[in-house]
Amino acid sequence: MISTPSGRTGDKPADPVGVRSRTFREACLSTTARRRFAAPWWVLPILTVPVTAGNQTPSTPCKDCATWNATQAPFRIYGNTYYVGVHGLTSILIASGQGHILIDGDLPESAPKIAASIRQLGFRVADVKLILNSHVHFDHAGGIAELQKLSGAEIAASASSARVLEAGRAAADDPQVGQLPDIPRVNRVRVIKSGETLRVGPLEVTAHLTPGHTAGGTSWSWRSCEKSRCLDIAYVDSLTAVSNDTFLFSRNTTYPGVLRDFEQSFATVSALRCDILLTPHPQASNLWGRLERRDQGAADALVDPGACRRLADDARKQLEGRLAREASAPRPP
């Protein structure tokens, strides 16, 4: 586990900037989200957008991307763990004097904002030694290639995710395939296994494969400390059953093990040591609401050891609802 409480570089990080809470329900719901099988409001819409060549990093031409990519001042979550993502998409920096770990790259156009946030905290982008990913959709992996170029960091991912990162396009087993834009291709991805612990200097981050939303979905856990108090932090990948208009979770030929994978993921997340829950879409774990309470004086507003279990329980109920709707829907002739 992490033995150093501060995890700072030689430069003293700037004090966290005050965070203004913002409601995303209206911004995230759109007509593209009103699908044949509805999902909870915080499940962001699947977007049918023009794809681009895998080696390019243009702005993603989707109606919600500008909202997701709104600039967010970086801030300390706890100890040496910082939020450096844009307002609608999470990116996490875990810092130490011997190098940093970054989780998720958000949209392709988010990469310069993430880099600017790292610098604003007083850290160097070149000191990012390892970049990890939750899942390989354009809104979480799109900026990884550019961040790799800026930092020279190693990229590590599950075997399924590594193939997509290197190819720059969704795999055939992705429930949302056909409705996802390509992402800039990533070179030299290190393949990791579930339960593997990755290290940068004193930092230790453990991988937990949590497939279902994608076949390679991965959650991450680590400890961060402030003085003598250390907390377990879990960055839990999306657990939602979201698909294109033809994929059925109850019966399909492209990802036949998806239900088994979801059940494994629910059990994995429920069992995580989870003092602070973080998610790729910050509103899925009510990050902004919790931060508002912390800003108002509730010092432990981010701390909730039962949050991972409740997230898994809610995702299981959402999947059950989806399966019930599939069962009641008329089958095609």
Question: Percentage of the chain with pLDDT > 90?
Answer: 78
pLDDT at 12 (0 to 100): 38
User: Is pLDDT of 131 > 50?
Assistant: yes
**pTM to 2 decimals?**
0.84
Q: What is the pLDDT of residue 31?
A: 32
pLDDT by residue (tens digit) across 15-63?
Answer: 333 333 333 233 333 333 333 444 443 344 434 333 333 444 456 767 7
Give pLDDT, residue 254: 98
Average pLDDT over residues 118-128: 98
Quickly tell me which residue has 């979201």 as its tokens.
Answer: 242
Count Cβ atoms below 10 Å from residue 146 Cβ, excluding itself. Answer: 20
- List pLDDT tens digits, range 233-262: 999 999 999 999 999 999 999 999 999 999
CA nearest to 173, candidates 261, 239, 238, 62: 261
What is the C-alpha to C-alpha distance for residues 277 and 306, in angstroms, rounded to an integer? 9
CATH class given for the domain over 25-328: alpha beta
Q: How confident is the model at residue 93 (pLDDT cuts 50, 70, 90)?
A: very high
pLDDT at 141 over 70: yes
- Confidence (pLDDT) at 130: 98
Closest by CA position to 170, among listed 285, 88, 247, 260: 247
Write a three-state SS string for 10-62: CCCCCCCCCCCCCCCHHHHCCHHHCCCCCCCCCCCCCCCCCCCCCCCCCCCCC
Give the contacts of 307 (CB within 8 A, at least 6 positions apart): 274, 276, 277, 285
pLDDT number for residue 62 = 77
Measured CA to CA, the distance from residue 159 to residue 329 in angstroms comes to 34
Higher pLDDT, 320 or 41: 320
**Which pLDDT belongs to residue 330?**
81
Average pLDDT over residues 201-227: 98
Q: Closest Cα to residue 103, out of 114, 88, 111, 92? A: 92
Rounded Cα distance, 142 and 147, in Å:
10
Domain coordinates of the chain in residue numbers? 25-328
Which two three-digit tokens encode residue 249? 């979770």
